[in-house]
Amino acid sequence: MKYSSHIFQKWILKMQIRSQLNRLIQRACERANILVDRVQVNEASKVAFGDYQFNGAMALAKSLKKKPRDIAQSIVDAIEDNDILEYVEIAGPGFINLHLSNNWLSTNIKNIVQDRRLGIVAKENPSKVVVDYSGPNMAKQMHVGHLRSTIIGDSLANLFTFLGDDVIRQNHIGDWGTQFGMLIAYLEELGEGGEGSLKDLEEFYKRAKQRFDEDENFANKSREYVVKLQGGDVRCLHLWENFIDKSLSHCEDVYSKLNIKLSREDVKAESSYNDDLANIVNDLEAKGLLKESQGAKVVFIEAEENPLIIQKSDGGFLYATTDLAAIRFRASKLGANRISYVVDARQAEHFKQIFSVAKMAGYVSEDVKLEHVSFGMMLDKSGRPFKTRDGGTVKLIDLLEEAVERAKGAISKRDSYEQEELEKVAEIIGIGAVKYSDLSINRESNYIFDWDKMLSLEGNTSLYQQYAYARIRSIFRKYNGKLEGDVILEEPQERLLALKLLQLEDTLYSSAKEAMPHYITSYLYELSTLFMKFYETCPILREDTPENIRQSRLILAQITANTLRLALDILGIKVLERI
C-alpha cells in the first residue's frame, strides 16, 4: 500500500493531540510564571474525568509552597484561546481535566476521510534508522527461534518508514564459520545431483555431521575446506556460494509466506565484514583500548566484570568483532542516527558491551541511538520452551503451514468457500494470527504460544480486527453512495469512536519511539471494541436513520475501516473484504 497524502497541507488541522495539549499547558505554565521542566498530559483514566488530564499541579505544590488547587487554578486561568478544548475543570486535590471540543473532533474526522495517511504527517526531520532483524543461520533451516525477531523487526521497520524515517533493513545472516567446511564438503560429495537434498537443510546438516563424526577422512577434508574457504579458494568459494544461495531461498519462502519485506538487497552477511575484522583490531590497538588478557586481545569496560573479547588467543575473531565492524559500517557508511537490534533478551550483556566499546572507540557518535530491542522466549502452552513432540526444534515453515491449516479448520465450518478462496482466506487469517499474537504482548516478556487463543475471534486477536474490518466493508457493499456532510457527535459511542480514531497518530509515534509494537495492537483492540459498541447502538443504514446522521456514521465507519487497514498493514497483517 502506498501512502500518499491526498489532502493539502493547509487543510490539515494539526493533530497530534497530546503534543498540542502539552504545548498548551506548557505555555499556560509559562504565562502563570510556573516553572516546570516537562509537561506531560495523559489520557484520562476514566470517561468521567474528561478526555485528557494534567496531574502536575500536585507535584509542584511543595516547591512552590502553594496549595495544589491554587496552582491548578492559575494554570487553567492562563490557558490561551484555542479551538481544541471545550472546557477545563479542576477536580479533587488538583487534577486538571481537559475536555476536547466536539467541533474540533468532528472537523478533524471529516478532514481525514479521503486521506490514505489518515491525516498523519510524516516527520519533519527524519532519522536514518537501521533495523537489524531476522538474522538466520545459513547452516540450518529457519526455526521458531527466528520468528519473533523477524516479526517484530519487520513491523518496526514498517512503522518507522510510515512515520517518515529513512529505514535501512539489515539481515545479518550467519554465513560464516567452521561448520560450512563440513557442509560444502558434504555437498561436494553428493555431487551436482545432491542439491535436491538441500530441500531439507536440517536433515542435510544432520547427515553431514554424521559423516564428520564417523569418517576421519571426511572430517579432515572438512577442516581443510574451512582453511581453503578462508584463503579464498575459488572452488570452495563456489560451493559455499551455492550453498548460501539455496539456504537463503529457503528463508525467502518463509519471508514470503509471513509477508515480511526482507529481500536480497537487505542481506548484509557476516562474511561481508571479514576483511574489516583485522582493521578493527588494529584500530582498537591504535586507540589504546586493546589489552592482552589470558592470551586474548580484549577491551575492558568500566564497571563490567568481564572484558569484551575481540580476538581469540589462537588469532581467530569472534562475533563481537563482526558486530563492531557492522556497527561502524552502519554509523559511518550508512549514516545511521538510530540502530535497532531486534535480538532476544539473552544477548543483553553482549549488546551492552558492544555499544560501550563502539562509543569508546568513536565508531558511533554520542547522539546516535543504539538500542537493543530485546524480546523474551517463545514458550509452549505449559510454559516450557517451544519444541516438537520429540524435543527437536520446530521448523518455521512447518509452523506457518500449520497456522494456515488450523485457520482453515476455524473458518470452513462458518461458510462454504470455493477451494481457492479458502486457501487465500486461511493464509491471511492464519499468518495474521501468528504475527498479531506475537506483536500484541509486551515484547520484553516471554511469549506463550497458544494456537487456540490466537485463532479465536474473541479477545485481542487479529481475527477480531479482520472481522471488524469485513463487517464495515459489508456496509459499504450495501451502500455505495457518496460520503458527504458533517460529522455529528451526539451519541457517546460516536464521540468515543471519533476520539479514538484521532489518537492513532499519538499511538504510532509512541510505539515507534519506544519500539513497542504492542501499543498499536492495544490501540486496535480498543478501537474495534469501540466500533462494535457504536455499531450496536448507532444504526447506520436503517430506514429510520436521518440522512445527515447516516452520512456522519458512514464517515465514522469508513475511517474506522481505513484505520484498521492502515495499522494492520504497518504490522504486516492483511485484511479481507469478507470472511
C-alpha 114, offset from chain centre: 27
Site string for RNA, 488-517 (x = CB under 7 A): ----------------------x---x-x-
Minimum separation from the CB atom of position 192 to RNA (A): 29
* Cα separation, 23 vs 324, whole angstroms: 41
Taking phi first (over 0 means left), then psi (-120 to 50 degrees means alpha), and beta for anything else, what does residue 436 get? alpha
Q: Tell me which DSSP letter residue 12 carries.
A: P
Q: Is 278 in the site for RNA (CB under 7 A)?
A: no
Cell of residue 439, nine digits: 506483536
Q: Is 37 in the site for RNA (CB under 7 A)?
A: no
Instruction: Kindly list the distances between the CA atom of residue 162 and the CA atoms of 133, 326, 351, 371, in Å, as whole numbers in the listed order.
Output: 18, 25, 27, 20
Q: Is 55 in the site for RNA (CB under 7 A)?
A: yes
Strand 42-43 to 52-54 pairing? antiparallel
Q: Is 314 in the site for RNA (CB under 7 A)?
A: yes
Among the listed residues 316, 362, 392, 409, the single contact to RNA using CB under 7 A: 316
Q: Is 63 in the site for RNA (CB under 7 A)?
A: no
Half-sphere exposure of 519 (CA within 13 A, CB side): 16
Minimum separation from the CB atom of position 142 to RNA (A): 14
Q: Is 552 in the site for RNA (CB under 7 A)?
A: no
| Site size for RNA (CB under 7 A) | 93
The sign of the torsion formed by the CA atoms of 436, 439, 442, 448 equals positive
Residues 446-485 that bind RNA (CB under 7 A): 446-448, 450, 453, 456-460, 464, 467, 470-471, 473-475, 478
> What is the crossing angle of helices 147-162 and 504-514, to 10°?
130
Q: Is 64 in the site for RNA (CB under 7 A)?
A: no
Cell of residue 68, nine digits: 495544589
Question: Letter for the amino acid at 537?
Answer: T
Residues 340-399 that bind RNA (CB under 7 A): 345-350, 377, 383
Q: Could you write out the three-class secondary structure of 338-350? A: EEEEEEEHHHHHH
Minimum separation from the CB atom of position 46 to RNA (A): 7
Q: Is 247 in the site for RNA (CB under 7 A)?
A: no
Q: Is 67 in the site for RNA (CB under 7 A)?
A: no
Q: Is 546 in the site for RNA (CB under 7 A)?
A: no
Minimum separation from the CB atom of position 9 to RNA (A): 28
Cell of residue 305, nine digits: 566484570
Q: Is 432 in the site for RNA (CB under 7 A)?
A: no
Candidates 118-126, 324-332, 406-414, 482-490: pick the segment binding RNA (CB under 7 A): 406-414
Residue closer to RNA (CB basis): 307 or 572: 307
Minimum separation from the CB atom of position 553 to RNA (A): 8
